[in-house]
Structure 1
C-alpha cells in the first residue's frame, strides 16, 4: 500500500494509505514502532463503511452478517483532505450525490483520537441510509508476518446486572476470524446492544492486541442507544468497526433528504505499545476531557436506600442527618420512595414525581432538604424521570408515551416518556427541574430500570426513533445542569447499564453497580477502571451493625476504587465501627486526588466465578510520585504476601483490619495477606 499522508499525533502515527484498487484507509501505530512496519499484501480498509436501501449487498457469505464491504463503499473516492482546528477531515464522494466527511480529532494532552463521519446528500433524491460507520480501521497487524497466526487477541467487556465489566479475551482463531484459504470468504464477529440500556450484555468497547509485537489497538463508542461493533477479515488484515446499529441488527435506517446531513456518534480510538490495560487507560483521557467534574474535589456521599429500603420520610431523613452530622459527609441523598402513596410502594408509584406531603413530608419536602443543609450536608434526591410506573397518572397519558406498532411500549409496570416531544420536556421541567429548584436539592440521581427494546414508532425506522429518543435523554440531562445552579448529576441504570461515554459526559458520576453488599464489589469496581473514570464510579459501602471489623474494612476499602458512598445502618454501630468508618472517610480524602487524576495498573489472579470469588487482586493507581494500592483477598487460596510495583519512597498511610505487615523493598510494595475476604489500602509517596 502507498502512504498518502502522515500525521504525528502525540506518540501515535496516523497514516492515510491507498491500495492499487484506489481504496483509501487509515493505519494507526505507535510512532516509536514506525521502523517495524512490514510490507504485506492486503487491501486498504476504507475510511468509511456505508450502505443505503437499493445498494448491492455484501458477497463472500457476508449478507446477513454485515452491511459493510459493499460496492457502495468502494465507490466512495477521496476528493480532498484538510485540517480545521484539531480535526483532520477527508471528503469522499461517489460522484452520484453521496458525500462523506471523515473526521479525526486530536489535540495535545490526549492519547486517543475522536473519529466520526458526516454523510451529506448532495444529490437530487432521498437516500435511506441503513449503515454508516463512526470508525473503520484496518491494517491490523502491520508488525507480524502474514495473517499473524496465533498472535492476535480480542478483548471485550461483558456486562450484566450487578456484574459489570468482565474482561473477555479470545484468540482471533477462537472467534473464527482466520482468513479463508482463497481470501474470498468474509469473516465477521459482530456484537452490540439493542435498546435504551447501552451497557447490557456488552460495553461498547473492543481491543485487538498483537501479542507477538506487544501492540494494542482499542476503541469505544459514545452512543446511548443501540450500537454495534464488528471485527472483520478477508485477507491478512483484521478490521475494527464501530457504528450505530445497522438495519439488519438494530432496525435502524434514516432518510437523508437532498441537502441534509447526518453525523454519527463519536468513536474513540488509540494504539500503544503494551496490552489492553494500557490501551484502556489511554481511551479514558477522552473521558477526562468530557467530564464536567474533572476539576472538582471528589465528594463523600450517603445514600439512604439501604437504610430505609424505600421509606425516606421526613422523620427518617432527620434521624439520618442528625447521626451523620459532623462526620465529613458532603451529600445526603434521598433515594426512591419520597413520592409513594399510602398502600402503593416506590416501585409502583413513580412517574408523577409529586412528593407525598401528606404523610411522608407533612412540613413539605423543602423542610427536609433545609434540615439536611442545616446539618452541614447538601441534599440530594432520586428520580426515574424517563419512565412511569403503573400506579401513576402519567402511565395513562398515552400522548406522552413511546409506542411501537401504534401501541404503548409497556414492560409490565414501566412505560417510557417520548423524549422527542416538547410537551414531555415541559412535563419534566415542571415535575423534576422545578422541584429541584423549589426545594433546594443540589444533587440528583437519575435512575433507569427498564429497557425500551429495539425501538419506537418513527417515520424512518424503529431504531431511528430510539436514537432520537435517547438524544432527548441527553438533552434532559443538559437542561437539568443548565437550570439548576451547582447541580451534581448521578447517572444510574439499575447500577451500570448506562456506563457509556455520551451519558458519562453529561454526568458528574455514575452508580457503578447494584451489587451493594456483594463480595464481588471490588472485582466489578476494578474491571470498570478500564471503561470509565474511577472519579465517576460511585461505589457503595453498606454499613451493617452485624459486620465484623474485617467485613466493614473490606466494604470501606472497596470505595477507594472509586467515589465513596455510604449507606446502611446508622443505628447500632459500635464505637469501633464508627472509628473504622471515620478512618475510611479520612483515608479517602487523603487519596481522592489520585482516584480522580491517576492511572491504574492491575495485578492478581481472580477466579472466573464472581459470586463466589477466589484468589486475590490489586489495583495500583499512580499519580506523579504517589501510588494508591488497593488489595483484596477472596476465598480459596492466595499468597502469603504480594509484591507490587509502586511510586514513592515512603509509606504514607495504611488501612487494614488484620494488622498486615507492609513495607517497601527495591521499588516494590510488599504486603502481607492474612485472611480471606480482607482488604488493605496503602498510600506511598515521597
Structure 2
C-alpha cells in the first residue's frame, strides 16, 4: 500500500503520497467545499543547481533532475496559537542535499503558505558529481516554493484546456488592469504524446527589480467553470519573482518561485552545512473566484502584523495629490490643517519636500532634517497644529534611497549602498541603501525614532520611486542574491519599527502602487494604490485594488477640486469610499457647500463603513473592470454580525472565508448587508444590472426601507438632492440582481447600502 498522510484542519486539508521509486507529491487538496485530486503528480519542490539540469530539456521551473530525485525522509506537524504547521523533509542522497518543505495554515482560513529550505548536508554518494565543486558546494539557480498540477474534482478527469487564467497588468498610473485568457489559447494542442515527452514551453510571468507590481502581479487565478474549481496563488515577495503555468501531457501545472538565475542573475552557493530558504508563496482552491477572493482576504488578515488601526481605519488627509505637490510650507499647510480637521480627517500627512532647503526636493532626500526655509518657526508649529486639531501627524519618507545631493551621500560608508562591479548603483539622482548593512539600518532607525520621539509623528508614508535593476553584488553570490538579502532585511527593519513603536501607522507607497505584494501589505496598515491624478481614470484602479490587499488598506485618492461640478465632486469622493478614506485637495479654498459634501462623505464613511470594513469581503457585481469601461462597480459584503462582529473578528464571510483571524469558515452564512459603489464614466447611461447572489431568495422592499421588506436599497453617498438626484433602482428577486439607472454623458457615482431584513 502506498505510504500516505493527511495534514490540515477544518478549513483545509492536504493529502501526501509517495513510493520508494518516486518522489513525494500532493495527492489531494480539500478546501472551501471542494475536493481536488491530482492524477498527474509533481514533486513537492523543483530545484535547479549548476551541474544539474532538467530531465526534459526546457527553460521551465519544472521537470528538474533534482526534483525527480528527491525522496521522502520524514514529516513533522505542529500546532500553535497561529495555526497548523508542517515540515516535509526530502533528500537527494546522491547529491547530499535535503529539501524541507514548510506549510503554514492559519486557524480557520482556507489558504496556506509554503516555502522550502534547501540544505547541503555534505557526504554525497557521488563526490565527483558535476553539481559539486572541489569543495563540495552546491550552487542553486532556482527553487520553487510551490508546484502542482491543476487537478480536477474527485470523479472528474483533468483537462488542461478547461481553464481560464486571470492575471493582472500594472503600469505607473495604470494599476489593476486584469484580463482573462483561456488556457487553450495559451497552450496549443501539439499531440506531444506521440513523442513520449511533455511540451517544453510555458506561460511565465516575471518581475525584475524591486517594483514587485511594476508590470505584472505576483497573484493570479486559474478558473474552470467546467470543473467547478478556482485556483488562487500568490508569491509573497517585494522584489524579483517568477510564476508560470504550462501544459504537460496529462494536465497543466502551476510553479511559483522567487528569483532565479535565468531571470534575475540569482544564484546561491551552499557550502556543506549551509542552507537557503525560498521566499514564501500561498495557495487556495475554491468552487469559484468569489470564494477564492474571500479566502485570500481572510488569509491576509490572519497573516499580517496586527495593529489597532486595521479594524477601524482612520480617515487620512495628505497634502500632495493635485494640491501642494511636494512644496509644503507653514503658510500653505496651516489652512489645510484647519480645513482637514473641520471635514473630519483623523490623520494629516505632510508629504514630500518638508526636509528640503534647495527648492529641488527630489535629489536632496536622505538626511530627513526639517527645512528652516519652509518652516521659519520650525516644523513643530505645523505638527502641533495637527495634533491640537485632534489629528495624528504624519510625514513622508523615502527611506531606501539617498539623494545624490544629500549630505548623507558622503556621510554614510560605502558599505551602506548598493554596488555593482565596484560602483554605486544610481537611478534618477538617487543612491540605494543596502539594508543588510548595519550603518544603513542605524541611519534609518535613528531617523524614525527621532521623528517619533522628538516631533510626535504617529504616521509615516514610506515611498519608493526608483528600482535598482538586478541588485547589488557586494558580499553576495551575485546581484540577485544581494537584492534578495536586502529585501529580506527591509522587511525585518519594518517589523522592528512596529515592535519599537506599537501605535505607529505606516503607509506603503512605491510610486503609487508599484509594490503591492503581500510581503509589503502584510507589514503596512495602508497601501497606496496609484499616483493617478485624473479622477476619471481612478475608478478602475480603486475597484481592482482589493485583488491585492484588504479593503481597509486600499488608499484610493479622492482629490475633489473647487472647480468641479457637483457630480464630479461626488464622483471623486466615491472613489475612496469603499477603502481607506484617502483625501487630498484644497479644502480651505472650497465653498461651504463643497466642504459640507466632504463632511457628509466622511461622516457616512465613519458611521457605516469604518466600523465594518475590517471584516468585509470584496466582490465585483459587474466583474473585474476593464480600463476603459463606461461603468465600474465595486462591492463589499459585510459580515452577518455587522459592526460588532467585524470589530471582534468573530464574523464569517458569506462566500466561504473567515472575516478575521481565528474565525471559522461558514460557507452558507447569508450576507446581511453589502455596500456597492457604481461609477458612470461619460457613457450612454441607462440600466445596469449588478449581481448580488448573496441575497438569493429575498424579496424587494422600498428604497426607503419599508418595514418587513426582505431587501432595501438606500443611497449612502451622496445624499440625494436637486444637484445630485437619486438614481432609480430596483431589486430583482428572480435572479438576485439590482438594476440601477445611470445618467448619460456625465462622470457621476453613487454608493448604495443593500440590506437584507
What is the TM-score normalised by the length of structure 1? 0.93
- Tell whether the 8 Å contact from 1:53 to 1:127 is kept in structure 2 after alignment: yes
2:727 is matched with which residue? 660
Counterparts of 1:583 and 1:511, CA distance in 2: 24
- Tell whether the 8 Å contact from 1:437 to 1:484 is kept in structure 2 after alignment: no
Bigger Cα displacement from structure 2, 7-16 vs 529-538 = 7-16
1:631 paired residue among 678, 686, 701: 678
How many Å apart are 1:668 and its aligned residue?
A: 4.5
Is residue 47 from structure 1 mapped to residue 44 from structure 2 by the alignment? yes
1:70 paired residue among 48, 64, 78: 64
CA RMSD, aligned part only? 2.5
Counterparts of 2:110 and 2:33, CA distance in 1: 16
Counterparts of 2:684 and 2:119, CA distance in 1: 60
Q: 1:368 to 1:497 in 2, by over 3 A?
A: same
Is residue 423 from structure 1 mapped to residue 422 from structure 2 by the alignment? no
2:637 paired residue among 621, 635, 638: 621
- Tell whether the 8 Å contact from 2:315 to 2:346 is kept in structure 1 after alignment: yes
Q: 1:499 to 1:605 in 2, by over 3 A?
A: closer
Q: Which secondary structure state, in structure 1, belongs to the residue aligned with residue 576 of structure 2? A: helix
How many Å apart are 1:202 and its aligned residue?
A: 1.0
Is residue 526 from structure 1 mapped to residue 543 from structure 2 by the alignment? yes
How many Å apart are 1:592 and its aligned residue?
A: 2.1
2:330 paired residue among 291, 314, 317: 314
Counterparts of 2:413 and 2:211, CA distance in 1: 22
Q: 1:177 to 1:370 in 2, by over 3 A?
A: farther
How many Å apart are 1:432 and its aligned residue?
A: 3.4
Is residue 169 from structure 1 mapped to residue 180 from structure 2 by the alignment? yes
Counterparts of 1:512 and 1:186, CA distance in 2: 37
1:450 is matched with which residue? 466
How many Å apart are 1:146 and its aligned residue?
A: 5.9
1:365 paired residue among 366, 375, 379: 379
2:77 is matched with which residue? 83
2:622 paired residue among 585, 604, 619: 604
Counterparts of 2:383 and 2:33, CA distance in 1: 58
- Tell whether the 8 Å contact from 1:144 to 1:212 is kept in structure 2 after alignment: no
Q: 1:30 to 1:674 in 2, by over 3 A?
A: farther
Counterparts of 1:36 and 1:83, CA distance in 2: 22
Q: Which secondary structure state, in structure 1, belongs to the residue aligned with residue 246 of structure 2? A: strand
**Where do residues 137-536 of structure 1 align in structure 2 (5 Å cutoff)?**
137-141=148-152, 148=159, 150-176=161-187, 178=189, 180-181=192-193, 182-184=195-197, 185-275=199-289, 277-291=290-304, 292-293=306-307, 295-306=310-321, 307-342=323-358, 344-357=359-372, 359-396=373-410, 399=414, 400-458=416-474, 459-536=476-553
Bigger Cα displacement from structure 2, 159-168 vs 615-624 = 615-624
Counterparts of 2:223 and 2:2, CA distance in 1: 24
1:684 is matched with which residue? 754
How many Å apart are 1:35 and its aligned residue?
A: 7.6
1:58 is matched with which residue? 54
Q: 1:132 to 1:427 in 2, by over 3 A?
A: same
How many Å apart are 1:664 and its aligned residue?
A: 4.1
* Unmatched segments (≥5 aa) in structure 2: 124-135, 641-671, 696-709, 719-723
Q: 1:33 to 1:332 in 2, by over 3 A?
A: closer
**Where do residues 589-600 of structure 1 align in structure 2 (5 Å cutoff)?**
589=606, 590-600=608-618
Q: Which secondary structure state, in structure 1, belongs to the residue aligned with residue 446 of structure 2? A: helix
Counterparts of 1:34 and 1:606, CA distance in 2: 24
Q: Which secondary structure state, in structure 2, belongs to the residue aligned with residue 478 of structure 1? A: helix
Counterparts of 1:310 and 1:199, CA distance in 2: 24
* Unmatched segments (≥5 aa) in structure 1: none
How many Å apart are 1:569 and its aligned residue?
A: 1.5
Deviation string 1:328-379 (CA, Å, 9 cap, x unpaired) is: 210010000111113x32223212212112x111222223211210111111
- Tell whether the 8 Å contact from 1:3 to 1:15 is kept in structure 2 after alignment: no
